[in-house]
Amino acid sequence: MSHSNEEVALVSDQVVKRFTLAAALAALTGVLAQVSIPIPLSPAPISFQVIPVYFAGILLGPVWGAGSVLLYIVAGALGAPIFSNASAGLGVILGPTGGYIIAYFFAAIAIGLIVHKGTETQPLSSVSVWTQAIALVIALAIIYGVGVPWLKFAAGFEWTEAIITGAAVFLPGDIIKIIAVLGIITGSTRLQVR
């Protein structure tokens, strides 16, 4: 009597790869959030947590990229100490810096849609560096566009104060982060998820 064993794949290799990268980028977001530098002009510290958000949108596209960021937000909201300075909970989301965290979700979607021209990921070799740069600049505008008004109302700032403390002081560093992400993406042939 012969027995044949058939392997049944419940989940495709592509889904496993994307889920793994999404989880890794969510974890990296939490790790880089701990690298924060308080500045006297703003309640929001300089941090590096936006870098994995950029990677999520570029590498995973709008669906899986947003999923990665959502995983980070939900884990932090539920109590994992992964927001800046090992903070956690809904209080952080509802506080002065919460708008920036929420905006990461929309930024990842925008990056993915622009870079991949839809919800299906395309080979990055077919996407110009200028398209990627435009996507990251638009994502940064979304982050400021949500974060600054949120900061204004949550902290009780005037508009000028919110713009200066919530965007202007961070702009030079954010431009450097965008250039660094573009350099890593364009300089590596291994950064492609299929």
Give the pLDDT confidence of 141-156 residue by residue, as tens digits: 999 999 999 999 999 9
Determine contact, residues 145/168, Cβ cutoff 8 Å.
no
Phi and psi angles of residue 160, each rounded to the nearest 5 degrees, phi first: -60, -45
Element (H, E) at 173: helix 171-187
Task: Collect all residues with Cβ–Cβ distance below 8 Å to 62 and sequence separation of at least 6.
Answer: 108, 109, 110, 111, 112, 113, 116, 119
Cα–Cα distance, 44 to 162 (Å, whole number) = 11
Backbone angles phi, psi at 139, to 5 degrees: -60, -45
Confidence label for 186 from pLDDT (cuts 50, 70 and 90)? confident
| CA 175/CA 67 separation, integer angstroms | 25
Q: 178 is written with which tokens?
A: 């965008």
User: Distance between CA atoms of 47 and 32, rounded to whole angstroms?
Assistant: 7
Tell the burial category of 27 from Cβ atoms under 10 Å away from its Cβ (0-12, 13-18, 19+). middle
Higher-pLDDT residue of 41, 173: 173
pLDDT of residue 17: 92
Strands, E assignment, the chain:
36-37, 46-47
Of the ranges 12-16, 35-39, 41-45, 79-83, which one carries the lowest mean pLDDT score? 41-45
* Average pLDDT of the segment spanning 53-79: 97
Res 187: pLDDT: 82
Whether the predicted pLDDT of 191 surpasses 90: no
Query: Vertex 188, ends 36 and 173: CA angle to 5°?
Result: 30
- For residue 18, name the pLDDT band (cuts at 50, 70, 90): very high
pLDDT above 80: residue 107: yes
Who wins on pLDDT, 15 or 26? 26
Q: Which residue has the higher pLDDT, 130 or 189?
A: 130
pLDDT tier at 184, thresholds 50, 70, 90: very high
pTM of the shown model: 0.89
User: How many percent of the chain have pLDDT more than 70?
Assistant: 92
- pLDDT at residue 11 above 80? no
Nearest to 73 by CA among 58, 92, 55: 92
Identify the pLDDT of residue 173.
Answer: 92
Contact 48, 96 (CB under 8 A): no
**Phi, psi (degrees; rounded to nearest 5) at 35:** -90, 80
